[in-house]
Amino acid sequence: MRTFDGLSASGGIVSGPVFCLSDEDTVAIPRYVIAEADTGAHWARFESAVEKARGEIRLLKDGRNREQTDILETHLMMLCDPEFLPQIRKSLDSELVNIEAVLKDRVDGAARTLRATGDSYLSERAVDIEDAFGRVMRNLLNDGASPSGKAGTRADTHADMHAAGGSRFVPEGSILVARTIKPSEALTFKDSGIAGIVLEEGGATSHVAILARAWRIPAIMGVRGILLSVSDGDEIVLDADSGVVTLDPSPDLLSSARAKALSRKAHEISPDDAATRALEPAVTRDGAVMTLRANIAFSRESRDALESGAEGIGLFRSEYLFLGSDTLPDEETQYAAYRDAVVGMEGRPVVIRTLDAGGDKMIGEQRLLGEKNPLLGWRAVRYCLDRRDVFRTQLRALLRAGTAGNLRIMFPMISCVEELDEVYEVLEEAKAELESLGIPYARDCKCGVMIEIPAAAVCADLLAKRADFMSIGTNDLTQYTMAVDRENAKVAHLFDCFNPAVLRLVKATLDAGQEAGVEVSMCGEMAGDPEAVFLLMGMGLRNFSMSGAAIPQVKALIRMVSLADAEELAQSVTGLSSAREIRKLVQGKLKTCELSKEQE
Ligand code: PEP
Ligand code: MG
């Protein structure tokens, strides 16, 4: 047995075989000119790579269910295709470039043609072609004759391999081990049925961590060195509750992990206090009412949010509609998604954030830019204000969906008043377009800003004059205040929303909102941390938005404490100088509340 420590990003315990996305999966595809005399050798390498891939697939078929066997059969057929393989040979002979480059071009071309049909069946075949020949590519890259083998950047991965393990079959129930993955890749792995995530990099508020929590997939980040120690199929136990990964677990550990996982599951669905009372309002012992809403990435999650006890959606991260495809979603697609979320929440407020692409969630042209500091770059409204057509399309879709219920529009990464004024100009343009076309839209749709840049928090009083509401995004607010990349495990110890600097900015925003009579909420991960909620209530926050999974526990916390206790706590915290001291004080006070509840 061997253990590795990391940061718990999404709780739970799971055991299973490793699916290893090693840096080999991210090699850039080499491209170079070859002599005519060398084409035979390149073709021979290709043939043996194909033969090897066929053998691998035959082995994989053993013990699979019907659906998986069918997929693998399709891959086998593709690797014997009597038309496609000769086309590759022809390109190799005529273009005189290395076989890896020829293979990449032909596979990309075939996949593009299939996708361009717009037919969902054919688009799925495009994925199969990439899958089957991705396996051949890996064999080529690993046959010792390829000049590659150098790990590329993650951007290379996207460009070259259609990544997300797309080149390999991801066995359901496996635990993904990788250096890092993008949110769009996480979506693909979720669809493949992975049971857990272990990353060498990343922090607890990275977008992958946020998704894992929403999907209730156990995840640990910052597990240094694990990639060098595991291979596909190795059995591991991932205990994300304690942030430990165990390789080659003993039979005893395996069975205790399985028992713990089962009891956790039973607990999740058993009618315990938190779950049964999830639908009831969140009221403190002394009668203060808190509003709890959910964060979602897709409209279909609104149903789950309701069942978890959400009183609305406090953050719909609309950029997930834009990820995972090379083309931007059109107005109708967006309208349908926003409308579904609004209708699903049956009249409750639904705050939809406009496109927050960039940083770790790049779309199309942003990826090509190769920014040195994407987190400080062309992201969110900065991108939208440069691509006004993209922005107006989204705003029209939002305004139209607003007629279906209680939709509110929220603008991310606002850094100053001028930027917000410009955003409103585009909003007016979108309204004018709908008006001239006679299309119904929500004329008085409420608009708010995210407070997630320190400059916005400091000037929250100025922004409050121009916004219907403000929502504090503590993930980015902490990142930018502390100058700590939220994805970087090396400096994760500095990423703490309990840091006095972050708390002061939160307080400044709350005060500015109160002064201006503007609703303030919080939708960063801090709002779903029960200890933080206790303190935030005392600081004056009443509206919290979090992953649906966190709602029952946070409601349970709110019911256990009184606002008077929270306010007293907030007072005592003001003099403290470190996150550690503050957390300790919060935990101590919480213990006292627990004890007094037990004694009742
Ligand atoms: C935040 O920054 O706190 C936030 C909610 O936005 P995101 O996590 O999507 O960047
Ligand atoms: Mg943010």
Average pLDDT value over all residues in the chain: 89
Model confidence at 490: pLDDT above 90: no
pLDDT, tens digit (0-9, with 9 covering 90-100), for 359-372: 888 888 887 777 88
Strand partners, 239: 13, 244
Q: What is the rounded distance in angstroms from the CA atom of residue 10 to the CA atom of residue 240? A: 6
The answer to whether the CB of 407 falls within 8 A of the CB of 338 is yes
Strand partners, 253: none
Instruction: Calculate how far, in angstroms, residue 223's C-alpha sits from the geometric centre of ligand 2.
Output: 24
Res. 200: pLDDT tops 70 = yes
Nearest one of 407, 402, 441, 409 to 423, comparing CA atoms: 409
| Length, in residues, of the chain | 600
So what's the pLDDT on residue 315? 98
Summarize the confidence of residues 575-592 as an average pLDDT: 94
Q: How far apart are CA 35 and CA 42, in angstroms?
A: 11
Rounded distance between C-alpha atoms, residue 398 and residue 445, angstroms: 9
- Give the 3-state DSSP-derived string for 470-491, with helices as H, strands as E and coil as C: EEECHHHHHHHHHCCCCCCHHH
Q: What are the tens digits of pLDDT across the range 254-309? A: 888 888 887 776 655 444 566 678 889 999 999 999 999 999 999 989 988 999 99
The average pLDDT across 167-185 equals 80
DSSP symbol at 30: P
Q: Which of 213, 415, 450 to mutate to test the pocket of ligand 1 (most atoms within 8 A of CB)?
A: 450
Does 167 score more than 60 pLDDT? no
Tokens encoding 197: 């995530």
For residues 173 and 184, give the distance between their C-alpha atoms in angstroms, rounded to a whole number: 19
Ligand 2 centroid to Cα of residue 495, in Å, is 14
Residue 176 pLDDT more than 80? yes
Whether residue 360 has its Cβ less than 6 Å from ligand 1? no
Distances (CA, A) of 269 to 275, 308, 385, 513, 517: 8, 11, 45, 38, 40
Average pLDDT for residues 422-450, to the nearest whole number? Answer: 98
Q: Say if ligand 1 is within 6 A of residue 203 CB.
A: no
What's residue 162's pLDDT?
34
Higher per-residue pLDDT: 61 or 20: 20
> Structure tokens of 494?
């500095």
Q: Model's pTM, two decimal places? A: 0.73
pLDDT: which is higher, 370 or 526: 526
Structure-block tokens of residue 539: 């600081």
Res 157 pLDDT > 60? no
Top pLDDT among 334 and 72 is at: 334
Which amino acid, residue 207?
A: H
What would the mean pLDDT of 547-558 be, rounded to a whole number? 93
Across 437-446, average pLDDT: 97
Nearest-angstrom CA–CA distance, 498 and 502? 7
Q: Which of 317, 319, 322 to mutate to test the pocket of ligand 1 (most atoms within 8 A of CB)?
A: 317
pLDDT of residue 563: 97
Q: Name the closest-CA residue to atom 3, ligand 1.
A: 473
Q: Is 551 exposed, middle or buried (0-12, 13-18, 19+ CB in 10 A)?
A: buried
- The answer to whether the CB of 183 is under 6 A from ligand 1 is no
> pLDDT tens-digit profile of 71-102?
788 889 999 999 999 999 999 999 999 999 99
Ligand of minimum distance to the alpha carbon of 521: 1
Instruction: Indicate whether 164 pLDDT > 80.
Output: no
Q: Which of 453, 528, 586, 544 is nearest to 9 (CA)?
A: 528
Longest Cα–Cα distance of the chain, Å, equals 88
What lies within 8 Å, CB to CB, of 138 at 6+ separation is: 24, 25, 167, 168
Query: Quick check: 158 pLDDT over 60?
Result: no
Q: Which two tokens stand for residue 295?
A: 């964060």
> What local confidence, expressed as pLDDT, does residue 185 receive?
76
Q: Is 475 in the pocket of ligand 1 (CB under 6 A)?
A: yes
CB-CB neighbours of 289 under 10 Å: 11
What pLDDT, in 10s, does the model give residues 202-243?
888 888 898 898 888 999 999 988 988 888 889 999 999 889
The label of the residue with tokens 């991310």 reads 412
Q: What is the 3-state secondary structure (H, E, C) of 551-576?
A: HHHHHHHHHHCCHHHHHHHHHHHCCC
568-577 average pLDDT score: 95
Position 155 confidence tier, pLDDT thresholds 50, 70, 90: very low
**Cα 534-412-293 angle, rounded to 5 deg:** 40
Mean pLDDT is lowest, of 58-72, 171-185, 280-294, 537-551, for 58-72
**Could you tell me which residue, 388 or 181, shows the higher pLDDT?**
388
CA of 473 to the centre of ligand 2 (A): 5
- Collect contacts of 74-80 with beta carbons under 8 A, ≥24 apart: 74/125, 74/128, 74/132, 75/128, 75/131, 75/132, 75/135, 75/169, 76/132, 78/128, 78/129, 78/132, 78/133, 79/50, 79/53, 79/54, 79/132, 79/133, 79/136, 80/54
Distance of CA 504 to CAs 477, 509, 577, Å?
11, 9, 11
Check pLDDT > 80 for residue 538.
Answer: yes
Tracing tokens 């410009």 back to the chain, one arrives at 422
Report how far residue 102's alpha carbon sits from residue 600's, in angstroms, rounded to the nearest whole number: 74
Percent of the chain with pLDDT over 70: 92
**Ligand 1 pocket check: which of 210, 356, 486 to mutate, most ligand atoms within 8 Å of Cβ?**
356
Which residue is closest in CA terms to ligand 1's atom 1?
Answer: 473
Q: Measured between alpha carbons, how far is 343 from 548 in angstroms, rounded to an integer?
A: 18
Neighbouring CB atoms inside 10 A of 509's CB total 27
Give the per-residue pLDDT at 329.
94
Neighbours of 418 (CB within 10 A): 8
**Three-state DSSP class for 539?**
helix
Both tokens of 407, joined, read 């939709």
pLDDT tens digits, 96-133: 999 999 999 999 899 889 878 877 778 778 777 877 89
Q: What is the pLDDT of residues 31-50, one digit of tens each?
A: 889 999 999 999 999 999 99
Radius of gyration of the chain (CA): 26
Which has the closest alpha carbon to 319: 355, 283, 347? Answer: 355
Q: How far is the CA of 478 from the centre of ligand 1 (A)?
A: 10
pLDDT over 50 (residue 68): yes
pLDDT at residue 166, as a whole number = 47
Please give the Cα distance from 169 to 233 (Å, whole number): 12
Position 318 scores a pLDDT of 97
Q: Please, which residues have CB within 8 angstroms of residue 153's CB and are 6 or more apart in sequence?
A: 26
Sign of the CA dihedral with 172 first, then 139, 112, and 164 last? positive
